[in-house]
Amino acid sequence: MANRTAIRLNPDRFSAPGPRDDLLAQLWAGSRPLVMGVVNVTPDSFSDGGQFLDPQTAIAHARRLAGEGADILDIGAESTRPYGDAVRVPLEEERARLAPVLTEVIALGVPVSIDTLKASVAAWALDLGAAIVNDVWGLQGDPDMARIVAERNVPVIVMHNRETADSTIDIIADVTAFFQRSLDIAARAGIDRERIVLDPGIGFGKTPEQSLLCIARLHVWRSFGLPLLVGASRKRFIHSIVPSDPLDRLGGSLAAHLLAVANGAAIVRVHDVAPTVQALAVAAAIRRAR
């Protein structure tokens, strides 16, 4: 399969409810990296926990990210922060956090990704009009997730994860093997391969050094012939290089995402949309001038 890693979503495609059978065809058709904006409706996310728990604040935040150029809005109501201390949220509480926000954000006309560990939440969100499932356990967590994705015929972001970091392992080999297991699960469930995006899970079950290595060697996973997503925004590996609080890691986030795109990323998942859009545009202009 050819390596096709540049993708684009057309927001007009989602201005009204309709079939999503050709979504991935549109994803494959683009020529620039996409920017996914983060909307955390949580009290405990590592970077912005509690800031957008109020529904109207979350909706306003999503509207601002869309105005700044976000191609996708990634909404989650259960923290999946990668440091092992996130509090698991009951199903009804997760839905209660999402309910006053999700429909309003979908109505903005920007494709919405539902960031959840639970297949039932994913199904509910998709029924409301979400377009993508973002699974931080790569179809290897909730046993019903692959079935829901297959039945709804939607794209899924398959992220590598580990319960704990292990500095002694070959992280590139570990991620590769994880992706292959996820792709096997997807195939058995009947998920179209071209509906899958791979995410190495920067910071999740990785030491800072391993996260850096995953960005540096991102090109390794282009061999799968699938789009790659990198979410390095405000992650702790930046702090390991230049000590800083999460809200003071914009420079490191931009550097990581520019290099990720140079190494093959088709989507970057970010908290700071406007600076990222600007950085990518300038980098692209410099490449064209060259």
Alpha-carbon distances, residue 133 vs 115, 122, 124, 150, 206 (angstroms): 6, 7, 11, 11, 23
**Which DSSP symbol is given to 224?**
G
- What is the end-to-end Cα distance of the chain in Å, rounded? 30
Task: Please tell me the predicted confidence (pLDDT) of residue 76.
Answer: 93
Pairwise pLDDT comparison (15 vs 165), residue with the higher score: 165
Domains of the chain, start order:
33-289 (3.20.20.20)
Task: Please tell me the predicted confidence (pLDDT) of residue 91.
Answer: 93
Catalytic residue among 95, 235, 236, 249: 235
Look up 235 and say whether it is catalytic: yes
Q: Does residue 81 carry a pLDDT above 70?
A: no
Catalytic residue among 81, 152, 222, 269: 269
Work out the pLDDT band at 42, boundaries 50, 70, 90. Answer: confident
Token pair belonging to 22? 């050709």
- Separate counts of helices (H) and strands (E) for the chain: 10, 8
Pairwise pLDDT comparison (26 vs 142), residue with the higher score: 142
Task: Please tell me the predicted confidence (pLDDT) of residue 19.
Answer: 32
Mean pLDDT of 151-164: 97
Cβ(108)–Cβ(101) under 8 Å? no
Amino acid at 138: G
Q: Does residue 16 carry a pLDDT above 80?
A: no
Cβ-in-10-Å burial (0-12, 13-18, 19+) of 287 comes to exposed
Kind of pairing between the strands at 196-199 and 229-230: unpaired
